[in-house]
Every structure is written in structure tokens, then in C-alpha cells.
């Protein structure tokens, strides 16, 4: 939709009033606007525009106490309850390394921020919401009954911007990384040579950049001793098995500005229509299984032995969610996690 025909802030608020129970993301899509534009329409009413710079927010956010952290992409939602502690602020990437809130943040993607107070019966739901330059949600922090309200109000006052207009200036994001080569044109032997020599899984990103290939392309050409495709239903099987065995896992869900991580066992795995959900006391995950086009088991060498992951990809080759067995740096992979992954049903390929 062009700027000339976008709804005015007044029209946005009217649409919200007519659809009070619709999720913000869904209403924004219906109105053909970004979620940031929907939120901004309430500036001066129950929304305050705030500075989205990570440096200030990370050094102050622990004072809020227990909150709920929410990070999502188009197909998966990751919610964790805890305290934002142990921050490490960097120029190109920052981290939170708390026991509950474990995140990687990429500050260049954070463009807009808002403090939102939403009436809910006799209560008020408060949150800090951050968006990228195109108005897509990057990360949200929701207050809970145990949160420190005074600290929240002080933080909002500190982050408040002079600009409290009810519209946002959006910028189109660069297109997702395009495939430079087709599969048969990729340097598969070069990939395999460097893959086998990895000592740390973080070396993988540099390998992909130098060989000009995507992660999805890499798992397709590395060879089945390092990556093999699974039936997409195997992801749900893994969750049920991990819950039954109380096997601690790591679940990574992210977007271009934030990756959020759960580490530990899971308990309550509940399917609901196309969604598979984890509904635990301090961790909720919601995953659209019908968005998973491919599921891969991937094995990467490290100085501590191989590390095995499950990686779910969308139709465009985008990463939806990634799982590992819980491990600490310097320790080997859990044998029960490796066995679980290796026994999941593989995709049956038709004979050539």
C-alpha cells in the first residue's frame, strides 16, 4: 500500500475499536500497514515513543525485575519469563546471558521503540515494543505482576523522545539474501573441506560468506554424513520425546534484530490446529508446523566433538527455528540428544 492510501491514525484507531480482540499483527496485516504504524497511532494516548538504542535499554532493563520477553518471526513465537541480567553491550551485537533471558541482539536493526499501556478490564498491560526500519516487530518486553512498576516508569521517562507524532517514517529493508549460485554451481568440495576443519560452530557464518552460499544451500550440498533431511513431522516427535525423557534442549527463534534462546527441559507439548506449542511455567513456544517446508539434522565439528542441531526452514529457505541439546562451552554433546536426533524418521527420497 502506498503512503497516499494508508489509513490515517484516526482510521487505524477506529479499526482497532471495531476489532478489539484481534491481535495487533493480524490487524496490521488486514489494514495493510506495519505493526509499528498501528502502535504509533496511539502516541499521546496510551503509547510513548522511546529511544530504540540498545545500549541504554540493556543497562537499565534489569531494574524492572521479572518480565516476559517475546521474540518472533513469521512462523514461530518464543516467550520467556525471567530477569534481563548479565548484559554484554557491543557495537555490532549485544548479548543477555541470564539464566532465563538468553538473547543475541543486533542493534543496527532496531529502528523504532514504544512504551505501550493497554487497558485490560480493571488492569493495565504494559510493554516495551521495538521494531525494525520497515515496522516489523523485533522484540517485546511485557511487564508481569511481579515487575517493578516504578523502575518501568523511570525507564520510559529516560527513553522518551521529543517526537510523539502518531505516524512513523518507514524504510524498505534490503531483500533477503539471494542465492548467488544454483546448487550445482556451488563449491561443495570447498565447503566440505572447511566444514570438516571447524573447531567452533560460530566459524560457520564466515564460511558461508566466503563461499557466497546460504545456510539452506550448505545443508543441501554438504553430504549426508553432516546433514540429512527429515520428515517435517519429526520436529513434533522430537518435542514429545524430549518432554517425556526430560531431556534438556536449546530452542533458538529469531529475526533480523534478535535471537532468543531457551535452555532446559520442556514439559507440556500441545498441538493446536497447525500450531505445535510448548506451554511451560517460564517458557512458551508457538510454531506453525504448516510453514515448515524442510527439516534437517545437521552435524558440525567442534573442538569438543560433533554438535547436532535440528533446523526447520520455510519455503524461501529462511530459518524458522533451531534446536540443540543443552550443552556448555567446552563440554561434549549429550549422548541422549544425539541418539534422539539420529533415530528420527528421515525423509524418504524417490529413487532417481
**Angle made by CA atoms 177, 252, 315, in degrees to the nearest 5:** 40
The pLDDT assigned to 352 comes to: 39
Residue 255: Cβ within 10 Å count: 20
The pLDDT assigned to 205 comes to: 86
Strand boundaries in 211-255, DSSP class E? 227-230, 249-254
Contact 242, 266 (CB under 8 A): yes
Model confidence band, residue 4 (pLDDT cutoffs 50, 70, 90): low
The pLDDT assigned to 159 comes to: 96
Give the range among 21-25, 131-135, 201-205 with minimum mean pLDDT. 201-205
3-class secondary structure, 194:
helix
Contact 71, 254 (CB under 8 A): yes
Decide if pLDDT at 320 tops 50. Answer: yes
- Around 301, how many Cα atoms within 13 Å sit in the side-chain half-sphere? 11
Which candidate, 108, 25, 28, 110, places its Cα nearest to that of 73?
A: 25
User: How is residue 6 written as a grid cell?
Assistant: 494508508
Q: What is the C-alpha separation between 302 and 208, in angstroms, rounded?
A: 17
Q: What CATH code is assigned to 9-85+110-159?
A: 3.40.1570.10
Model confidence band, residue 1 (pLDDT cutoffs 50, 70, 90): very low
How far, in Å, are 85, 112, 135, 185, 262 from residue 54 at the CA level?
14, 11, 17, 40, 21
Mean pLDDT, to the nearest integer, of 108-122? 94
Tens digit of each residue's pLDDT (9 = 90 or more) over 49-108: 999 998 888 989 999 999 999 999 999 999 999 999 999 998 889 999 999 999 999 999
Q: What is the C-alpha separation between 253 and 261, in angstroms, rounded?
A: 7
Decide if pLDDT at 182 tops 80. Answer: no
Decide if pLDDT at 115 tops 70. Answer: yes
User: pLDDT higher for 325 or 1?
Assistant: 325
The pLDDT assigned to 347 comes to: 85
Mean pLDDT, to the nearest integer, of 170-192? 76
Mean pLDDT, to the nearest integer, of 116-126? 92
The verdict on domain 188-343 having CATH code 3.40.1570.10 is yes
Tens digit of each residue's pLDDT (9 = 90 or more) over 289-304: 999 999 999 999 999 8
Which residue is it, cell 487505524?
Answer: 12
Question: What residues have CB less than 8 Å from 99, skipping those under 6 apart?
Answer: 82, 85
Contact 72, 284 (CB under 8 A): no
Decide if pLDDT at 119 tops 70. Answer: yes
Give the range among 197-201, 240-244, 339-343 with minimum mean pLDDT. 197-201
Q: Do domains 9-85+110-159 and 188-343 have the same CATH topology?
A: yes
Q: Which helix (H) or strand (E) covers residue 72, if one does?
A: strand 67-72
Mean pLDDT, to the nearest integer, of 302-331? 93
Query: Whole-number mean pLDDT of the chain?
Result: 92
Mean pLDDT, to the nearest integer, of 306-321? 96
Domain-wise residue ranges, the chain: 9-85+110-159, 188-343
- Around 6, how many Cα atoms within 13 Å sit in the side-chain half-sphere? 17
User: How is residue 114 written as a grid cell?
Assistant: 514504544
Taking the model in full, what pTM does it have?
0.92
User: pLDDT higher for 328 or 306?
Assistant: 306
Q: How many residues are given for the chain?
A: 352
Amino acid at each position: 500500500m502506498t503512503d497516499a492510501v494508508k489509513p490515517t491514525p484516526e482510521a487505524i484507531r477506529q479499526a482497532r475499536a471495531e476489532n478489539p480482540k484481534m491481535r495487533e499483527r493480524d490487524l496490521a496485516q488486514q489494514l495493510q500497514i506495519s505493526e509499528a504504524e498501528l502502535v504509533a497511532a496511539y502516541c499521546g494516548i496510551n503509547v510513548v515513543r522511546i529511544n530504540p538504542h540498545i545500549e541504554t535499554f540493556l543497562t537499565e532493563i534489569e531494574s524492572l525485575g521479572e518480565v516476559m520477553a517475546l521474540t518472533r518471526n513469521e512462523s514461530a513465537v518464543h516467550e520467556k519469563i525471567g530477569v534481563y541480567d548479565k548484559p554484554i553491550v557491543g557495537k555490532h551485537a549485544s548479548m543477555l546471558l541470564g539464566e532465563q533471558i538468553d538473547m543475541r541482539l543486533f542493534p543496527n536493526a532496531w529502528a523504532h521503540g514504544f512504551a505501550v499501556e493497554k487497558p485490560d478490564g480493571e488492569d493495565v498491560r504494559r510493554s516495551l515494543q521495538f521494531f525494525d526500519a520497515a515496522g516489523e516487530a523485533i522484540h517485546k518486553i511485557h511487564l508481569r505482576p511481579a515487575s517493578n512498576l516504578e523502575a518501568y516508569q523511570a525507564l520510559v521517562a529516560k527513553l522518551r523522545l521529543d517526537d510523539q507524532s502518531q505516524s512513523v517514517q518507514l524504510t524498505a529493508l534490503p531483500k533477503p539474501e539471494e542465492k548467488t549460485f544454483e546448487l550445482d554451481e556451488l563449491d561443495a568440495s570447498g565447503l566440505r573441506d572447511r566444514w570438516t576443519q571447524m573447531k567452533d560452530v560460530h566459524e560457520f557464518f564466515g564460511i558461508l560468506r566466503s563461499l557466497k552460499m546460504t545456510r539452506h544451500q550448505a545443508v543441501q550440498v554438504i553430504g549426508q554424513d553432516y546433514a540429512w533431511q527429515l520428515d517435517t513431522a519429526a520436529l513434533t516427535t522430537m518435542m514429545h520425546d524430549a518432554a517425556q525423557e526430560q531431556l534438556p534442549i536449546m530452542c533458538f527463534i529469531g529475526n533480523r534484530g534478535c535471537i532468543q534462546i531457551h535452555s532446559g527441559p520442556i514439559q507440556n507439548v500441545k498441538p493446536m490446529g497447525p500450531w505445535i506449542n510448548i506451554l511451560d511455567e517460564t517458557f512458551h513456544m508457538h510454531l506453525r508446523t504448516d510453514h515448515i517446508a524442510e527439516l534437517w539434522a545437521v552435524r558440525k565439528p567442534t573442538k569438543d566433538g560433533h554438535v547436532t542441531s535440528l533446523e526447520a526452514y520455510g519455503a524461501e529457505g529462511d530459518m524458522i527455528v533451531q534446536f540443540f541439546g543443552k550443552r556448555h562451552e567446552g563440554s561434549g554433546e549429550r549422548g541422549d540428544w544425539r541418539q534422539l536426533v539420529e533415530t528420527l524418521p528421515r525423509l524418504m527420497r524417490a529413487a532417481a
